[in-house]
A and B are shown apart, each in its own frame.
Chain A
Amino acid sequence: MKKILTADILAPIIVGILVLILWDVLVKVTNTPPYILPDPILVIQTLVRDWNELFQSLLITLQITISAFIAAAISGLLIAVLFTQSKWIERSLFPYAVILQTTPIVAIAPLIIIWLKNNTFAALVVCAWIVAFFPIVSNTTLGLKSADKNLINLFQLYKASPWQTLIYLRLPSAMPYFLGSLKISGGLSLIGAVVAEFVAGTGGASSGLAYRILISSYNLQIPRMFAALFLTTGLGVLIFVTLSIISDSILSKWHESAVKHEN
């Protein structure tokens, strides 16, 4: 059995507890009122008290995030494969992928929400997808191109079809790059979802975590705002950890990044 309480897990927990204690002491010593900065115990109390409502919001944000993430992973992979099939496709389309990536999501989110006004959920997913898909495209493209030259020659010698070369050589070579980009995009999907919810604002039909944060700030319910913020970051960490575990278990047998070394 693997030990669960390894240094990798204990160290950040200890840092977290120390920060919470410091925060608590700071609030008490300086006598800061809770509408400026609530102490952590108050935040936790609020979290417990408003759990039902906040958890509902968490599920909505999670739904948007996961939908956008899956869409980004699939479309990113397909676009990357398309790019590596022909230099011309890549030349013609890559700049537009960059443009889509560099356009601030806050600037185009209102447009998307107006265009998809009958389906706010879809609008939010599209916004989060725009933020999340680029790292997957660019990383996976790089991975597909970095297959070992000798292996490419070997496949040529054995008269492999383009399809065989893709499935047996290029995709496995790109796997570490693809999985690495998933870790980036998982977080970005969440950020995209939260930003889009902010833009959709209180008028939106759905009420994700960003909506809770907005409403709480309007009502000066700062502890509740912190509680929602905690849940958002917690969700981000959870997504990252899940993707890291998946990535490591896929790569553990062969890739340097996931192999345990003994010196």
Chain B
Amino acid sequence: MIENTPDIILNHVSKVYANGTFALEDVNLVIQQSEFVSLVGASGCGKSTVLRIIAGLGTPSSGNVELNLKERKLSFVFQDAALMPWANVSENVYLPLKLAGVPKKDALVQIKQAIARVGLEGFENNYPRQLSGGMKMRVSIARALVQKPDILLMDEPFGALDEITRSNLNTELLDLWHQHHWTVVFVTHNIYEAVYLSNRVLVMGNSPGHIVADINIDTPYPRSESFRTSTEYNKYCRSINEYLRVK
């Protein structure tokens, strides 16, 4: 992994919004290929801002972002599934390819694969309003996967879901990541989710947002459900919790 160029590098990134809000101060981070990195912090700590800056949806006020996007593709998953309500599941999943100019008939196989990957076979013709919150999120993930991304940015994707659905989707996401070795940057306010999923957790502090701690989660993959109840797991959660409490 070391000989590869890192996928994402942030150098001294700060962000001040036009209204004067100081959102980020001197954020430095390096994310290697195939790493699963979580950004954890309270709401308003700027973790989503970091993700948006990585995605190019916002520009840093100072500092710079280096992305390894030569022949590598980036996808983004939003907190609310952000589906087009007028389009059915397969049209929603088709969107990234459609925008890239791929004709529908050439995209059919990829659409089918992406839908199968998130376990939504049989729902191709359903409209978003006919789906539950968890299913909408699966569609959103399928849409992010359809163009075979290398880097996946996820902004609190499971934040609005119930605990059971969240836990199931966590496991499925981890399986998918294990198969495809994407680089994932995962924003969440849920410590337990972050520890379960990631090989690195970045803890963020408030006003202005900055990185407080960079913790490696050394437990090897595949991680079983029993990991969630192990002492090791609890130790990680406790230490992250302590960083979050320190002002």
The reply on A156 being an interface residue by CB < 8 A is yes
Q: Kindly identify which residue among B80, B128, B129 contacts A150, using a CB–CB cutoff of 8 Å.
A: B80
The answer on a CB contact under 8 Å between A259 and B129 is yes
Q: Chain A CB within 10 Å — which of B56, B75, B80, B84 has the most? A: B84
* Count, chain A residues at interface, CB 8 A: 21
Q: Mark A189-215, 1 if CB is under 8 A from B, else 0.
A: 000000000000000000000000000
Say yes or no: B128 contacts A254, CB within 8 Å: yes
Shortest Cβ gap from B44 to chain A (Å): 18
Interface size on B, residues (CB 8 A): 22
From A156, A172, A175, A255, contact of B57 by CB (8 A): A156
A230 within 8 A of B: no
In the complex, what residues of B have CB within 8 A of residue A158's CB? 95-96, 99-100
Label chain A's interface by main secondary structure. helix
**Is B129 within 8 A of A254, CB to CB?**
yes
B98 and A168 within 8 A (CB):
yes
Q: Are A254 and B82 in contact (CB under 8 A)?
A: no
Most interface-central of A156, A169, A253 (chain B CB within 10 A): A253
Q: Which residue of B lies closest to A172 (CB)?
A: B86
Q: Which residue of B lies closest to A157 (CB)?
A: B76
Scan residues 137-186 of chain A and give those whose CB is less than 8 A from a CB of chain B: 148, 150-151, 153-160, 164, 168-169, 172, 175
In the complex, whether B74 has a CB less than 8 A from a CB of chain A is yes
CB 8 Å contact bits of A18-29 with B (1 = contact, 0 = none) = 000000000000
Interface residue B127 (Cβ < 8 Å from any Cβ of A): yes
**A255 touching B99, Cβ below 8 Å:** no
* Interface flags, A62-105, vs B, CB<8A=1, else 0: 00000000000000000000000000000000000000000000
Determine the residue in chain B with the shortest Cβ distance to A153. Answer: B57
* B107 nearest CB across to chain A (Å): 14
B43-84 interface mask toward A, CB cutoff 8 Å, 1 = contact, 0 = none?
000000000100111000000000000000011101010101
Q: Report yes or no: A151 in contact with B55, Cβ–Cβ below 8 A.
A: no
A-B contact pairs, 8 of them (CB 8 A): A151-B84, A154-B76, A154-B78, A154-B82, A158-B96, A159-B99, A172-B87, A175-B86
Given A254-B128, A256-B129, 16 more contacts at CB 8 Å?
Answer: A150-B80, A154-B76, A154-B78, A157-B55, A157-B75, A157-B76, A158-B96, A158-B99, A159-B99, A160-B99, A168-B95, A175-B86, A253-B127, A254-B85, A254-B127, A254-B129
**Which A residues have a C-beta under 8 Å from some C-beta of B?**
148, 150-151, 153-160, 164, 168-169, 172, 175, 253-256, 259
